[in-house]
Structure 1
């Protein structure tokens, strides 16, 4: 009985920590990636994703709004901004200081459909099914981003001049809902042949997307979707990624090679969760501040 009581107590403590505390402990993770041409100035990239905003999440809204104080050279938003049918206004307000900076974005499935109740244990068996929630006013969200000057990279490319460096971008729409047109990536890249470096942007880091991005010449791929595992085991890490990316790569930087092509993957664990699964354990909500520097 003592062991059972201790086990129950431990489970209760873990639940309180994950539900009431850790999911509110937002953090900025910092990394440096050497991909720019020799002699290039440093470029700071704020990678934000998986906000899953709900109207009542005022603390999160204030924290996101305050990120504008970082004054990054570039913002990359990898989607799943929305977590509720009434979240578009709060998201655009929270991100307003960041939309004053140069930026690019792609959509996640939750930018198209409202969340639905799912069995959390189902994620241990396989990735979740395609979204089937209420359709959202995605056009309003995209209009808010694009009117501020952010580049829409959903199955399209683009380029920005940041601190004198010509950055090319290739992107795909949400791969989890099979909206990704990876066949468009070579053409996107061809149009960017005069850029100094090509960066890939995708919501979900499926292996087919990684390989296609590498083949198209992207040196770094920015992605989200995994929530870093969301509920992890201390000392072990993520159990799932909700895609075919290995669990050990659920967040942070990893290096990949496909034939003679190399790719650096940067996965942000994101700031949110479904309103039907309000928990984070051993996986703090995050944004990532990546400093791009010149190759040695």
Structure 2
């Protein structure tokens, strides 16, 4: 009898321990979710300086936007986006995933209208074409997200037209030269590699001997898959701008991103670093992004960001 009482007591003790553990875990999860909901609106501006311009040119300020994932009613985000016009950039580069809702085109264009007063270029991401879906966030830990089989279609043609009417240059599998502050910028962009839509257009070709005149080659892409970084690096890009990763979105303090949602190493999921391929090197800026999927609206240890790159002379 004593033995049975002892076993029963131990069972009750284990049960209480499990209940306490579950309660603590639930409380910690709720606290983390609450923090993540708060952090997603703690917008920051990351500033970088990069000596890539030909001698005698610069400084030149590039505002890099990516992964806005706009949802109607995101007034704080809209106000912050509009306020970036106070930076007076020389160029705005938008690397895609502007939308996260079928009714987001008009409000995101309104939020970006002050910035569309400046020269700009853009490429699309998958969430400019397809609406996000409700799914298990843990699936991202198993590898890059899959292409939806029956996705909701977003009004990318109208968003692209809005950008184009403002004078921003569409670089979807295209190349184009633009003269800015007296320097020729040669742009080359691709459609979203996450969807396997990239087709390389090379660099703009003009007059004979154009490569002998001062210029800068800038590659623009949404998802920084290694095959794309390799191509543009080997093809002589002076700078490559990308997004897509959200900087990992949920990171461990002191460690960083747990995933990149593509095949680059997680330590490259956000920031400015060099990519090397076949003996050539290109600086790559991967934006940590401004938004989240509306079905996973949290960020932890990874604040939403725009990036201001100040380009200076190489010498």
From 99, 106, 110, the counterpart of 1:82: 99
In the alignment, structure 1 residue 202 sits paired with structure 2 residue 183: no
In the alignment, structure 1 residue 26 sits paired with structure 2 residue 43: yes
From 171, 177, 184, the counterpart of 1:153: 171
2:277 matched to which residue of 1?
Answer: 258
Shift of 1:9: 3.5
Is the partner of 2:40 in helix, strand or coil? helix
1:246 matched to which residue of 2?
Answer: 265
Q: TM-score, normalised by structure 1?
A: 0.95
Number of equivalent positions: 292
For structure 1, which runs of at least 5 residues remain unmatched after alignment? Answer: none
1: CA distance, partners of 2:313 / 2:27: 51
Q: Which moved more, 1:52-61 or 1:6-15?
A: 6-15
Shift of 1:261: 1.4
From 137, 154, 157, the counterpart of 1:139: 157
Q: Which moved more, 1:230-239 or 1:7-16?
A: 7-16
Q: Which moved more, 1:198-207 or 1:125-134?
A: 125-134
In the alignment, structure 1 residue 71 sits paired with structure 2 residue 88: yes
Residues 66 and 287, structure 2, Cα contact 8 Å, conserved in 1 = yes
For structure 2, which runs of at least 5 residues remain unmatched after alignment? Answer: 1-16
2:187 matched to which residue of 1?
Answer: 169
In the alignment, structure 1 residue 57 sits paired with structure 2 residue 78: no
1:291 matched to which residue of 2?
Answer: 310
In the alignment, structure 1 residue 41 sits paired with structure 2 residue 58: yes
After superposition, what is the alpha-carbon deviation per residue over 1:15-63, rounded to whole angstroms, capped at 9, x for unaligned? 21012x1001001000001100111120000000100000111111111
> Equivalences for 1:207-226 in 2 at 5 Å?
207-226=226-245
Whichever of the two has the greater Rg, that structure is 2
* Pairwise CA RMSD: 1.5
Shift of 1:4: 5.8
1:102 matched to which residue of 2?
Answer: 119
Q: TM-score, normalised by structure 2?
A: 0.89
Residues 189 and 216, structure 1, Cα contact 8 Å, conserved in 2 = no
In the alignment, structure 1 residue 112 sits paired with structure 2 residue 129: yes
